[in-house]
């Protein structure tokens, strides 16, 4: 399948391999003796410094993609087929010892719930220092200085004071910022952010997004942003991948995917998004539910919920069509 990638020649990072490259990637989980495919034939690249958003309804496979990149689950629980590489290094067969060096080092991740990463019994500064102990050879004094520098980068006015605090002394938004500081401790190349702002109110959400954006610009960080929130994606992403029932239905520049959605699923998702409500349109859910991986059939997986579908959509696997350089869709009659 053709890679879902931006026009490489236009990219300033054309000479170096993408930070993330996925080719015909499928993921499988085990349920007893059954091997269940939960992601099918996904291809995309994330270039250096690029903000790539993965969107889709609950159960579409976004989190499992992130887990595959971080290799957070052992092979017996999450199997990877196809190619997945990080800055040219294949991740699929990388020995666990080397993967541990990348995780929390060159690749780091933040979650919706900061307490997934933060230890409630340890001071914030100490926790950030610990990640540096694993991945760097900085001395104690240097680590402590870096902790304060990181905390001020995520806009704490009194970093030394925050370093001595425990997670329960911070508000939700402050905890999220502390988690970002921790994720940045070892100068990652890739930050995976899985619904990092979903639990926060709108003002704090903006603040966290602005921090991620600023850090990304300052450190040339690539971001894989997993979200349901298309208005945030519209505002911050360079490129967007739309995942549905484990398949990438559309992928391309934010301007194309959000601005002129080619796949009826992208259009339907946008129709549910708050941005459209502001325009005065009524919010509509997409009728029906995402099919379970146990019930995937040949043909387009969205067809039962698609208002444009006919018999042809069920007949054969849907090929990927390139609409223009770097903009792909998996629909036999794209809207654009």
Ligand X SMILES: Nc1ncnc2c1ncn2[C@@H]1O[C@H](COP(=O)(O)OP(=O)(O)OP(=O)(O)O)[C@@H](O)[C@H]1O
Which positions lie near ligand X, rule CB under 6 A?
Answer: 29, 31, 36, 38, 56, 58-64, 292-293
Q: Which is nearer to ligand X, 289 or 315 (CB)?
A: 289
Q: Which is nearer to ligand X, 86 or 111 (CB)?
A: 111
For the bound state, the minimum distance from the C-beta of residue 192 to ligand X, rounded and expressed in Å, comes to 12
Q: Which is nearer to ligand X, 38 or 191 (CB)?
A: 38
For the bound state, the minimum distance from the C-beta of residue 228 to ligand X, rounded and expressed in Å, comes to 6
In 10 A of CB 307, how many CB atoms? 9
Q: What is the largest CA-CA distance in the chain?
A: 68
Q: Which is nearer to ligand X, 58 or 203 (CB)?
A: 58
Q: How many angstroms separate the CA atoms of 39 and 47, rounded?
A: 22
Contacts 24+ apart (CB under 8 A), 140-149: 146/185, 147/181, 147/185
Q: Which is nearer to ligand X, 38 or 200 (CB)?
A: 38
Q: How many angstroms separate the CA atoms of 104 and 113, rounded?
A: 17
For the bound state, the minimum distance from the C-beta of residue 245 to ligand X, rounded and expressed in Å, comes to 8
Q: Which is nearer to ligand X, 188 or 241 (CB)?
A: 241
Which residue, 295, 233, 301, is CA-closest to 270?
233
| Three-class DSSP category at 14 | coil
Alpha-helical segments (H) within 192-263: 202-219, 230-236, 254-260
For the bound state, the minimum distance from the C-beta of residue 237 to ligand X, rounded and expressed in Å, comes to 17
Q: What is the DSSP code (8-state) at residue 13?
A: T
| Three-class DSSP category at 248 | strand
CA 139 to chain centre: 33
For the bound state, the minimum distance from the C-beta of residue 116 to ligand X, rounded and expressed in Å, comes to 13
For the bound state, the minimum distance from the C-beta of residue 200 to ligand X, rounded and expressed in Å, comes to 16
Tokens representing 298? 């040949």
């Amino acid at each position: 399948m053709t890679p879902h990638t931006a026009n490489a020649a236009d990219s300033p990072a054309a000479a170096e391999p993408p930070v993330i490259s996925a080719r015909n990637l499928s993921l499988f989980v085990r349920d007893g003796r059954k091997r269940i495919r939960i992601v099918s034939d996904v291809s995309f690249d994330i270039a250096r410094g690029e903000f790539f958003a993965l969107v889709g309804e609950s159960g579409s496979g976004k989190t499992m993609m992130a887990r595959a990149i971080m290799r957070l689950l052992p092979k017996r629980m999450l199997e990877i087929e196809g190619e997945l590489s990080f800055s040219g290094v294949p991740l699929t067969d990388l020995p666990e010892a080397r993967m541990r060096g990348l995780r929390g080092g060159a690749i780091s991740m933040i979650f919706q719930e900061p307490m997934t990463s933060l230890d409630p019994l340890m001071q914030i500064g100490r926790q950030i220092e610990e990640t540096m102990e694993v991945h760097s050879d900085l001395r104690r004094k240097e680590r402590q200085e870096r902790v304060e520098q990181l905390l001020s980068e995520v806009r704490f006015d009194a970093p030394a004071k925050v370093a001595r605090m425990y997670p329960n002394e911070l508000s939700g938004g402050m905890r999220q910022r502390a988690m970002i500081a921790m994720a940045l401790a070892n100068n990652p190349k890739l930050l995976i952010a899985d619904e990092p702002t979903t639990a926060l109110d709108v003002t704090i959400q903006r603040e966290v997004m602005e921090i991620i954006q600023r850090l990304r610009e300052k450190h040339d960080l690539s971001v894989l942003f997993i979200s349901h929130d298309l208005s945030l994606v519209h505002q911050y992403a360079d490129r967007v991948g739309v995942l549905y029932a484990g398949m990438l239905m559309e992928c391309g520049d934010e301007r194309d995917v959000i601005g002129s959605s080619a796949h009826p699923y992208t259009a339907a998702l946008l129709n549910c998004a708050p941005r459209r409500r502001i325009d005065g349109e009524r919010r509509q859910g997409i009728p029906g539910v995402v099919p379970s991986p146990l019930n995937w059939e040949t043909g387009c997986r969205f067809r039962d919920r698609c208002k444009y579908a006919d018999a042809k959509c069920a007949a054969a696997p849907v090929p990927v069509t390139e609409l223009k350089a770097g903009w792909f869709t998996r629909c036999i009659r794209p809207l654009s």
